[in-house]
A and B are shown apart, each in its own frame.
Chain A
Amino acid sequence: MHRKVHQFNQFCALALAIIMVISSPLSALAQKSKTPKPVNRINKLTEQQKAIHLLDRITFGPRFGEVEQVMQMGWEKYLDQQLHPEKIADEIVAQKLQPLSTLTMSNEEIAKVYEPPPQVLQQLRERFEMLKKNEQAAAGASPDKSEMNAEMKAGDKPKAQAGDILADPEKRREYAKALADLGYKPRQIPILELQQSKVLRAVYSERQFQEVMTDFWFNHFNVFANKGVDRILLTSYERDVIRPNVFGKFEDLLLATAKSPAMLFYLDNWLSASPNAKMPDANQLRQMRQNRSPNAQSGQGFGGKNNINREMRRQEKPGQREMNAEPQQTEKMQPPKPQAKRSRGINENYAREIMELHTLGVDGGYSQKDVQEVARCLTGWTLRQPRNGGGFYYAPFMHDDGEKTVLGNKISSGGGMKDGEQVIKLLAHHPATAKFIATKLVRKFVADEPPQSLIDNLTKTFLKTDGDLREVYLTLFKAPEFWSAESYRAKIKTPFEMTVSAVRALGAETNGTQPFHRWIQQMGEGLYLAQPPTGYADKAENWVNTGSLLEHMNFALALSSNRINGTRTSFAPELKSAKPGEVADYFIKNILHGNISPNTRAVLDKTLSDPNIAGNSGTDVAKIAGLIIGSPEFQRQ
């Protein structure tokens, strides 16, 4: 009896030291295994489940120990805090973001450092071509050696395209160095820092719901980082356009995106002009110069007469240097293209997507004619020199000022810039928009197949409150459908949610750099890298598949075994001397909050008893953590 007690005490000490729980997880498990009901069949959520559910949905996953904290303060209070992020101090993440200098820079400032003007690139190219010619001439002096090299190379790989002086990696390095000598930093840095900041905010920010919604609305108003100069415009887009508006009125958010350089560039509206557009004459130019915004002065914009002319010429044939779908390949070093006849016209791209994807939805009842009319209304909503980080401006000379009819509403002629604003007002308050946004939100926060009753409820709030997003969220989180047992753990985490929630659950530290981001990319949803304007799909069937699932498991193992550079997981040292089954139960308790079926727990035992896990030199804690993070239970939320 004495011995028994002693052993029992040892077990208790271990349990207290590492498990920090009152009841043994094993006893709970054993009780459940006697009554083989699946754990998810519950009618009403317990207080713990409520805390888990709320944290699963409105944050990037509960941190180690956070479920208990929320239970203590009550979920209502936690929700209220998260709905008012301005009242939450957020020092830690601020410190971590501080070294990322581009995050606080304006588009103009980023452009100056990271976006060399075409003339500079052209001069550099010429210099490299000269160098190459010289090298070739020099090589000609000793033909035997160079010919041999050439033959060997030809056999190795396909010949570089003629004229591509940067096909050789060494030349590319030299080129990058030459740019650095001129004071330009690599152009991919702003987007790398942005990706890093997104990971850091998701992992460390106390304003979790704000970051969840920033992610949601960015994806709703998606802009692809690799469309030309958008690579330098997304920093401000997320910071100044999306994040400040996620608790505001939908109309403000829509209007802000419509005027944002990132969106104007991504969906080509900055190029869209009336077919009858005429270049302004000297008087108009003078007037434009007088009316210029203070921002334009600081840039390389309207400085003097020559600059105006240069700008207007660029505006005339804007796409020549600015536009390209594949920046890395095509834009790098294209020789200037032959001058083509000046041509202008309507571009429907944004007009279509603003209705289909941003507001009404594809079934929202608009026609091809409406697309054309909206495009006419938005002509002249353009940009000053996007490559220089120039902002939105309305160019009257590009605008189609005739009468239009949009969704049956007449828009009188002569409205100028107001035409576009009228369209945005119309779309922002349209019942189809309310329904479309409500559906997306319910799918995001409740279930992939959203309950109609809740969609109707949110639609009503949206229309009643003039599209007040905070009110819409509140309706959602107060709804019985949100708190239903069917909704609990019914969603599967996206790659971003999965990776970040794993870091939070393990209490790991990450600097959020590329080695971490690359995993998200491997799972198919790289940050800011959704190419189509739809953004990433919002139903799990789109990302739950063999390739992605395998990466989830491999990420779990890499994370727990510290095989991701810049990310560090540390476990309590006592765990190593605990039995594998106890370690597994510890993680099940603290990471899965007991949400594992008895059967799943049972089948783990075979693996846990293997010498590779149980090990002579102690329990392989990392592999067990990897198994739990990579388990099907952790993929759910």
Chain B
Amino acid sequence: MDRRFFLKSSGVALASLGVATTSPSFLARTLAQTKTTGRRKTLIVIFQRGAMDSLNAVIPYGEQDYYNLRPGIAVPRPNNDKQPNNPAALDLDGFFGLNPALASFKPIYDSGQLAIVHAVGSPDTTRSHFDAQDYMEAGTPGVKSTTDGWLNRYLQARPDKTASPFRAVAMGANLPRTLQGRAPSLAMNNISEFNVRAGGGQASTVVQGGFEAMYEQSVNEALRGTGRETFDAVKMLKRVNPSQYQPASDALYPRGKFGDSLKQIAQLIKSDIGLEVAFTDIGGWDTHANQGAGQGQLANRLLEFSTGIAALHADLKERRDDVVILTMTEFGRTAKENGNRGTDHGHASCMFLVGGNVNGGKVLGKWPGLKNSQLYEGRDLALTTDFRDVFGEVATRHLGANNLSAVFPGYQINRTNFRGIIRS
């Protein structure tokens, strides 16, 4: 056997093999196909992980029971200046008030572009963070076998072969449960670092091409599919360059990961990159001890949360009619404060919705009350709105979906249950 000959001939064979196997799939798809032009409706989902204490965020100050249940952590009634170190709630409608740390929500609420749904959540009884987040993101309370998330199923239900790789984007290193599934979705830490970095322009392009070709060949489906999504996105991002869109002067994002994520979502929207669903999250809501009232641990979280959303709202001034911001948290917390001036895992919580077409300036939903007999299992805020009806209304009236039966399997989305969150 002549080794040299062998080398040469196998080289030829490999070269032809390479062309044959690679051309049909990834070379054939060109970015020219992707539809990115123009404005489109976008939904921004913010998950407050850890279970926000809704009763201290949107305070039912009209209920004496609130004050009876929470002697150590209650937020005082509006215009109460008897406690100088304990700032009072900001009145919304004569019954509910905002935690003073949510002050930046007040002008948006007053302008009719922020609505609150109270006593909302998952009907499942679990008080496990893990399960409750799982159920809320999967959109199937009580069913653990669901493999994909409801946002992903929404994308699946409205298939779009020419969709941008940026149709669904999660800011962060990992794809959240709600975006996992068959429909392509992106996870990214930072848009300016979303590329192959091999030191130097041309070399990076070459190395990127090598990676792309290899991932296209992987026998592991997850790696192959994820690789493909990655490289499509990298190329498109380079072309569109969203980083050129700087925040509006009155959009003051809070420092840190949450503010950065929101800022980048705004950049993606402004660059018309085809973003339809954006996701980010903010942690630190599991306030079992010393949560404070209008100041303190919970208030600090609320401050970052609300100034971030208010900045995003300001930043998207020209596009507010296209965007709805929807917040969620896995469950609420006990109505009664615990022994450590904190609150334990509860049941219903509240959601905030912000946008030009949000039917705002209102606290929506039915208020169940805080009397002992009105509490869920005698301890938690009862549930009067199923979170799927909120998602359903936003998907239908804002994003324009017609059929949600596949998005929320086992649940009948009924328009009569819609709370009137989106102007029709």
Contacts and interface: CB of A to CB of B under 8 A. Distances in A.
Contact of A627 (B197, B207, B233): B207
Given A550-B234, A602-B17, A627 B214 contact: yes
B5 to A, nearest CB: 9
B199 interface: yes
B100 to A, nearest CB: 13
Interface string B269-281: 0000000000000
Interface in A352-378: 352, 356-357, 362-363, 368, 371
B191 to A, nearest CB: 10
B223 A492 contact: yes
B220 interface: yes
A570 interface: no
Contacts of B15: 602, 605
Given A4-B2, A603-B216, A557 B207 contact: yes
Interface in B223-280: 223-224, 226-227, 229-230, 233-234, 252, 254
A275 B339 contact: yes
Contacts of A540: 222
A170 to B, nearest CB: 17
A548 B173 contact: yes
B230 A550 contact: yes
Contact of A606 (B195, B209, B339): B209
B28 interface: no
A544 to B, nearest CB: 5
Contact of A318 (B144, B230, B286, B340): B340
A409 interface: no
A529 to B, nearest CB: 11
A531 B49 CA distance: 10
A626 B207 CA distance: 9
A623 interface: yes
A99 interface: no
Interface string A572-596: 0000000001000000000000000
B71 interface: yes
A441 B216 CA distance: 32
B103 to A, nearest CB: 13
A269 to B, nearest CB: 10
B289 A323 contact: yes
A460 to B, nearest CB: 25
Interface in B182-240: 186-189, 194-199, 202-203, 206-207, 209-211, 213-220, 222-224, 226-227, 229-230, 233-234
B290 interface: yes
B198 A599 contact: no
A541 interface: yes
Contacts of B218: 600, 632-633
Given A4-B4, A623-B207, A546 B287 contact: no
Nearest to A542: B174
A517 to B, nearest CB: 14
Nearest to A224: B283
Contact of B22 (A275, A603, A608): A603
Interface stretch (A179-187, A252-260, A337-345): A337-345
Contacts of A557: 196-199, 207
Task: Assign chain A's interface to a size class.
Answer: 35 or more
B3 A8 contact: yes
Contacts of B361: none
B7 interface: yes
A605 B18 contact: yes
Nearest to A268: B288
Given A341-B71, A612-B203, A604 B210 contact: yes
B72 interface: yes
B61 to A, nearest CB: 20
Most buried by B among A602, A606, A631: A602
A479 interface: no
Interface in B46-77: 49-50, 71-72
Interface in B357-390: 377
B14 A352 contact: no
Contacts of B396: none
Contact of B339 (A271, A550, A581, A613): A271
A465 interface: no
Interface stretch (B113-121, B126-134, B399-407, B413-421): B126-134
B3 A545 contact: no
B226 A597 contact: no
A338 B288 CA distance: 19
A325 B48 CA distance: 14
Interface string A7-26: 11001000000000000101
A340 B207 CA distance: 62
B175 interface: yes
A273 B129 CA distance: 23
Interface in B1-57: 2-4, 6-7, 10-11, 13-15, 17-18, 21-22, 49-50
A620 B13 CA distance: 24
Interface residues of B, number: 90
A605 B130 contact: no
A536 to B, nearest CB: 9
Interface stretch (B156-164, B316-324, B341-349): B341-349
Contact of A604 (B49, B172, B214, B283): B214
Contacts of B2: 4
Nearest to B18: A602
Contacts of A288: none
A158 interface: yes
Interface string A239-283: 000000000000000000000000000001001110100000000
Most buried by A among B13, B297, B339: B339
Interface stretch (A27-35, A195-203, A384-392): A27-35
A635 interface: yes
Nearest to B225: A544
B18 A630 contact: no
Contacts of A601: 14
B196 A553 contact: yes
Interface string B296-338: 1100110000000000000000000000000000000000011
A319 B10 contact: no
Contact of B127 (A33, A352, A613): A352
A33 B16 CA distance: 12
Given A356-B128, A627-B211, A632-B215, A547 B220 contact: no
B284 interface: yes
A522 interface: yes
B111 interface: no
Contact of A544 (B203, B219, B226): B226
A630 B198 CA distance: 12
B85 interface: yes
B288 A326 contact: no
Given A320-B290, A341-B72, A550-B230, A272 B339 contact: yes
B213 A606 contact: yes
Given A532-B130, A632-B218, 18 more contacts: A33-B17, A39-B219, A319-B289, A325-B301, A330-B296, A337-B292, A357-B130, A543-B174, A546-B175, A547-B172, A557-B197, A558-B197, A602-B17, A606-B18, A606-B210, A607-B206, A623-B207, A632-B214
28 contacts: A29-B10, A30-B6, A33-B17, A268-B289, A275-B339, A330-B296, A341-B72, A343-B341, A356-B128, A492-B220, A492-B223, A523-B173, A531-B49, A532-B130, A534-B130, A540-B222, A542-B175, A547-B174, A547-B175, A549-B230, A550-B196, A551-B173, A561-B199, A603-B214, A605-B15, A606-B18, A623-B198, A623-B207
Interface of A: 4, 7-8, 11, 24, 26-27, 29-30, 33, 38-40, 157-158, 268, 271-273, 275, 318-320, 323-326, 329-330, 337-338, 340-341, 343-349, 352, 356-357, 362-363, 368, 371, 492, 522-525, 531-534, 540-551, 553-554, 557-558, 561, 563, 581, 597-608, 610, 612-613, 620, 623, 626-627, 630-633, 635-636
Q: Which 7 A-B pairs have the closest CB atoms?
A: A345-B339, A524-B173, A607-B210, A632-B218, A603-B213, A319-B290, A319-B289
